[in-house]
Amino acid sequence: MATADVVKPDFATERKHFIFTDEHDQLRESIRRFVIKELAPHADEWEEKTFPDSVFTRMGELGFLGLDKPEAYGGQGGDYYTSLVLAEEMAHAHCGGLAMGIAVQTDMAMPPILAFGTEEQKQEWAAPAIAGQKILSLGITEPDAGSDVAGIKTRAVKDGDDYIINGSKTYITNGHRAHAIVLVAKTDPDAGHGGITLFLVPMDLPGVIREKRLKKLGMHASDTALLAFQDVRVPASAVLGQIGKGFYHISWELQGERLIGAAGCVAGAQHVFDRTLQYAKERKAFGREIGHFQVIRHKFAEMATKIETARQMVYTTAWRFQNGEYPVREITMAKVYAARISVEVADECIQIHGGAGYMQEYGIERSWRDLRLNRIGAGTDEIMLDVIGRSYGL
């Protein structure tokens, strides 16, 4: 074979995945520039104080909060992949709490308003949320019920034309800063899954109490609230979607939340991998770079293979989602797999850093702490496996 015929592996080539177009690449480039220039430099400060509300305003101005949202409400009208690109690029801020606070706005609280809300609700809440002028949160979890959504106790009782809401929600991201909450409440406690309804509740109503700012293992840049609702009176127009269909509405919402979460896990794992690769090429022990020890080289090979597998699951599942399928099994698989491997990768990266991995100044331990949430939030590993198992009729 002549030399010219030798096909060499193109390890260094940036490969475009088939779901992305040149427009997606340009969007990726512009989000990355923004994240690295305007967000990443503040990551350490925001770990201490949480990120400021002005991030929403700025990202709203730039159009980043409505990439895949309808133009009628100020969005960019892009496809689902544009939201995926945002979730991936937010990893470059190295600030998991920030990425989560933004994802709650764009991919957790906003989708049910746009999918099930009235025109009035969309104008009042979705449009200003896309513009970054109003901040949203989502309230499912309660002190006595998380995985078991049907076990929630928050009640909304009809009183004339109004509803009176009583109950408590916990671990609510954006809960301290939010202007409104998409709230899951029981309207008929005897009706099981059919007795749950969503409400869109302004947070400045009398009886809404932001009880406690919760301290946590990671995601320090986000605010996490314990909320109480004491005789909160809302008009019937606060019902979001259909009465008694809240369980199904929120089950639908969770699919988008899980897929975006999985994309964030892959990006977070890639980010900590890249930093660690650089370290392994520079750090020397016993006279050579540690990355050249076979055992370390194999750690990178294992990590890269896991990340790539998770990435392909996320992209293929996103392709199904974008093309009108409702691939709950695949979303669940992508979520549990990406969450698990992201934690495994971050843990291995701490190991490769040695003592430096344990020190705050290298930021590797932050990646581990932040990524660890993903095995719990948006549905635990155990619940994900149960959903997958049940999908086979078990």
Q: How far apart are CA 391 and CA 394, in angstroms?
A: 7
State which of residues 173, 270, 317, 332 lies at the interface with ligand FAD (CB under 6 A): 173
Contact criterion met (CB below 8 Å) for 204 and 176: no
Q: How far apart are CB 100 and ligand FAD at their closest, in Å?
A: 7
For ligand FAD, which is the closer residue by CB, 352 or 373?
373
**Contact status: 386 vs ligand FAD (CB under 6 A):** yes
**Contact status: 332 vs ligand FAD (CB under 6 A):** no
**Contact status: 138 vs ligand FAD (CB under 6 A):** yes
State which of residues 35, 172, 198, 303 lies at the interface with ligand FAD (CB under 6 A): 172
**Contact status: 30 vs ligand FAD (CB under 6 A):** no
Binding to ligand FAD (CB under 6 A): which residues in 224-263? 224
State which of residues 216, 292, 297, 298 lies at the interface with ligand FAD (CB under 6 A): 216
Which stretch in 190-198, 277-285, 319-327, 376-384 sits in contact with ligand FAD by CB under 6 A? 376-384
For ligand FAD, which is the closer residue by CB, 208 or 280?
208
**Contact status: 39 vs ligand FAD (CB under 6 A):** no
Q: What are phi and psi of 362, to 5 degrees?
A: -85, -15
The first and second tokens of residue 361, run together, are: 């100044």
Q: How far apart are CB 333 and ligand FAD at their closest, in Å?
A: 17
Amino acid in position 174: N
Handedness of CA 333, 336, 338, 341 (dihedral sign): negative
State which of residues 63, 139, 195, 256 lies at the interface with ligand FAD (CB under 6 A): 139
Q: How far apart are CB 216 and ligand FAD at their closest, in Å?
A: 5
Q: How far apart are CB 385 and ligand FAD at their closest, in Å?
A: 8
The residues annotated as belonging to the active site are: 257
**Contact status: 135 vs ligand FAD (CB under 6 A):** no
For ligand FAD, which is the closer residue by CB, 314 or 378?
378
What's the 3-state SS for the chain?
CCHHHCCCCCCCCCCCCCCCCHHHHHHHHHHHHHHHHHHHHHHHHHHHHCCCCHHHHHHHHCCCCCCCCCHHHCCCCCCHHHHHHHHHHHHHHCCHHHHHHHHHHHHHHHHHHHHHCCHHHHHHHHHHHHCCCCCEEEECCECCECCCHHHCCCEEEEECCEEEEEEEEEEEECCCCCCEEEEEEECCCCCHHHHEEEEEEECCCCCEEEEEECCCCCCCCCCEEEEEEEEEEEEHHHEECCCCCHHHHHHHHHHHHHHHHHHHHHHHHHHHHHHHHHHHHHCEECCEEHHHCHHHHHHHHHHHHHHHHHHHHHHHHHHHHHCCCCCHHHHHHHHHHHHHHHHHHHHHHHHHHCHHHHCHHHCHHHHHHHHHHHHCCCCCHHHHHHHHHHCCCC
For ligand FAD, which is the closer residue by CB, 27 or 339?
339
For ligand FAD, which is the closer residue by CB, 85 or 172?
172
Which stretch in 113-121, 124-132, 216-224, 267-275 sits in contact with ligand FAD by CB under 6 A? 216-224
- What mask of x and - would describe binding to ligand FAD in positions 83 to 122, judged by CB under 6 A? ---------------------x------------------
Q: Nearest CA to 92 among 268, 265, 341, 261? A: 268
Q: How far apart are CB 36 and ligand FAD at their closest, in Å?
A: 25
**Contact status: 179 vs ligand FAD (CB under 6 A):** no
**Contact status: 141 vs ligand FAD (CB under 6 A):** yes
Q: How far apart are CB 175 and ligand FAD at their closest, in Å?
A: 7
**Contact status: 221 vs ligand FAD (CB under 6 A):** no
User: Binding residues for ligand FAD, per CB under 6 A?
Assistant: 104, 137-141, 146-147, 171-173, 216, 219, 224, 373, 376-380, 382-383, 386
